[in-house]
Chain A
């Protein structure tokens, strides 16, 4: 237990260090860091509206982050959550557009399933390349993100284009009201239900099944579990597919829920934030719940900043990136005279 507390304390310490770095960057670029952090807190947590808004962003982020947790626990570095999220959104929009007019009881489950399937497809090919040919998954999934972004632009300005759409950003037709699972506030019993079910399922999968045990061992000691007779490629591929499924589901929820239609280039930092959530939470499912709320708050603040406070939304990107820079840190540098009391580190 104390190990767990220590880990939480360490994560908090590095998040704080990251915020200090952010403050320095804000000051260096001529913004008042006090004002900035104050406005972010206002936009994220300081009123019931802001809290609801944070929850709206936290829910899809939680879904994607849960998928990232599974894949990272298997030891595969699937950083393609963004692309899988986009593909999920595209798949859902296709189904909703094609089946427009059919009863909602049929369309909504199909649309969600299409989102999940599309997300899985977008995770499957980097996974297969990794497992069958040893193609580095970090690069392939990053490239998959860029390709997905371009596919999204193509889809929204081609096959799914809203002909009546004006303005600079291309978008699909709005999803019919009957198929929406929430209004634009993004918090509804349906979405909360989906997230809750997924949370329980992932927790069970990770903590109470053979897959969970084997996959976390695969991430730590692949040789051992091969000797135990488990199939490493199969575990890895399952990890990829599940993480794609959850990211795709998050995309589907965004389309049927708060977004209401497919807009090119929407939420470009969703995947990166989800990866951060998984890492800050130390790849634990219960941790992800808490951390998702925090990053949901930051996401809410990134909309609040430019509109209300007149500050650039890029501040949130800077905060997220600094946290990413520090969150995996495992040592606090000590001066030499102190170091002799510390336990020696493993790596030379």
Chain B
């Protein structure tokens, strides 16, 4: 049981950090599909810099800078150039996936993965079965609660929600929605960097090309499943990790009898299930989105 919980925490923590970034963006009224790209950018920057300099802090610092820059780029495209947020987000994701591939090849030639000597500090023997988890796992509940306080109990959080739900109302009291969104996306960039770092340096100590494998999208689904609420999104992410951990456990138990690749689809199916449930519960059957603005001719 302890093993299972440790496995859930290990795979769930990166997801939760990134989902918190998604929650911030959701509150600000942006569907953030660039999470996947920011997450892999964070993972790549952290590992490359840590491997080159041997300093964990430098790695995390560069990861944060890279992710905040990426978020700012997304903000610029969505807010200033008025691009469609979903396509722009997917573009940012592609940019992260391709750019990190390019960066790894630029530094290491044709290798697909980079190992790092440096890792995040572990919790240590005092935590028994959880000794191998990183400090970011322990910090995760604090971050989630802090985000809840920020969003629900501070002036900033309420203004941010106003920007997302009714930008006109926000403007009428002198809040600039565009600026608030920049702040939300940048803060999200920091969280994505932490999530990516945890993914790459938490237990694996390596970066490999496309290692996020849809986790950023899963984090986004957790935001939807969790109704844009930090704690809800965190539990949704934990649910996806539980399914993943159960899949791995089933694989170990049944061995060859269950095809491994089909078991690997379980977290994705759970994600679809989660989004389906939240659509049902909230009657979210809005009509077609109206992408007519994409049409020119």
Q: Are A151 and B83 also in contact (CB < 8 A) when A79-B90, A315-B102 are?
A: no
B168:A348 contact, CB within 8 angstroms: yes
- Quick check: is A37 within 8 A (CB to CB) of the other chain? no
Question: Smallest Cβ distance from A107 to chain B, in angstroms?
Answer: 28
A345 CB contacts on chain B under 8 angstroms: 82
- Quick check: is A93 within 8 A (CB to CB) of the other chain? no
A4:B297 contact, CB within 8 angstroms: yes
- Complex formed: what's the CA distance from A312 to B220 in Å? 30
Which of A23-31, A113-121, A172-180 faces chain B? A23-31
B276 CB contacts on chain A under 8 angstroms: 129, 133, 135, 140
- Complex formed: what's the CA distance from A153 to B213 in Å? 14
- Quick check: is B283 within 8 A (CB to CB) of the other chain? yes
Which of B115-123, B147-155, B261-269 faces chain A? B261-269
- Quick check: is B138 within 8 A (CB to CB) of the other chain? no
Q: Which of B37, B171, B287, B292 contacts A223 (CB 8 A)?
A: B287
Q: Are A284 and B291 also in contact (CB < 8 A) when A139-B271, A325-B88, A329-B82 are?
A: no
B290:A25 contact, CB within 8 angstroms: no
B286 CB contacts on chain A under 8 angstroms: 134
- Complex formed: what's the CA distance from A143 to B81 in Å? 29
Residues facing B in A108-157 (CB within 8 A) are 129, 131-136, 138-140, 142-144, 146-147, 150-151, 153-154, 157
- Complex formed: what's the CA distance from A236 to B290 in Å? 12
Question: Smallest Cβ distance from B23 to chain A, in angstroms?
Answer: 15
Number of A residues with CB within 8 Å of any CB on chain B = 78
Taking CB as reference atom, which chain A residue is nearest B36? Answer: A142
Residues facing B in A61-114 (CB within 8 A) are 72-77, 79
B81:A326 contact, CB within 8 angstroms: yes
B95:A322 contact, CB within 8 angstroms: yes
A331 CB contacts on chain B under 8 angstroms: 80-82
- Complex formed: what's the CA distance from A157 to B90 in Å? 30
Type the 1/0 row for B143-185, where 1 means its CB is closer than 8 Å to any CB of A: 0000000000000000000000001100100000100000000
Q: Are A146 and B268 also in contact (CB < 8 A) when A76-B289, A133-B279, A216-B295 are?
A: yes
B291 CB contacts on chain A under 8 angstroms: 72, 75, 77, 219
B137 CB contacts on chain A under 8 angstroms: none
B92:A314 contact, CB within 8 angstroms: no
Taking CB as reference atom, which chain B residue is nearest A284? Answer: B297
- Quick check: is B99 within 8 A (CB to CB) of the other chain? yes
Type the 1/0 row for B14-41, where 1 means its CB is closer than 8 Å to any CB of A: 0000000000000000010100010000
Residue of A76, A140, A314, A315 with most chain B CB atoms under a 10 A cut-off:
A314
A30:B279 contact, CB within 8 angstroms: no
B265:A139 contact, CB within 8 angstroms: no
A272 CB contacts on chain B under 8 angstroms: 90, 94
Type the 1/0 row for B62-105, where 1 means its CB is closer than 8 Å to any CB of A: 00000000000110010011111011101111110111011101
- Complex formed: what's the CA distance from A311 to B272 in Å? 38
A301 CB contacts on chain B under 8 angstroms: none
A328:B88 contact, CB within 8 angstroms: yes
A136:B284 contact, CB within 8 angstroms: yes
- Complex formed: what's the CA distance from A325 to B80 in Å? 13
A7:B297 contact, CB within 8 angstroms: yes
Q: Are A328 and B294 also in contact (CB < 8 A) when A142-B214, A348-B171 are?
A: yes
Taking CB as reference atom, which chain B residue is nearest A154? Answer: B261
Question: Smallest Cβ distance from A204 to chain B, in angstroms?
Answer: 16
Residues of chain B at the chain A interface (Cβ within 8 Å):
31, 33, 37, 73-74, 77, 80-84, 86-88, 90-95, 97-99, 101-103, 105-106, 167-168, 171, 177, 213-214, 217, 220-221, 224, 259, 261-262, 264-265, 268-269, 271-272, 275-276, 279-280, 282-297
Q: Which 3 A-B pairs have the closest CB atoms?
A: A321-B94, A134-B285, A220-B292
List 19 A-B residue pairs with CB atoms under 8 Å apart, sorted by A's residue number: A11-B296, A31-B106, A135-B275, A135-B276, A136-B279, A139-B220, A154-B261, A216-B292, A218-B288, A221-B290, A283-B296, A284-B297, A315-B102, A318-B98, A321-B95, A322-B91, A326-B91, A327-B87, A330-B81
Q: Apart from A129-B272, A222-B290, what are 7 other A-B pairs with CB-CB below 8 Å?
A: A4-B296, A136-B275, A139-B272, A219-B288, A220-B290, A321-B98, A330-B81
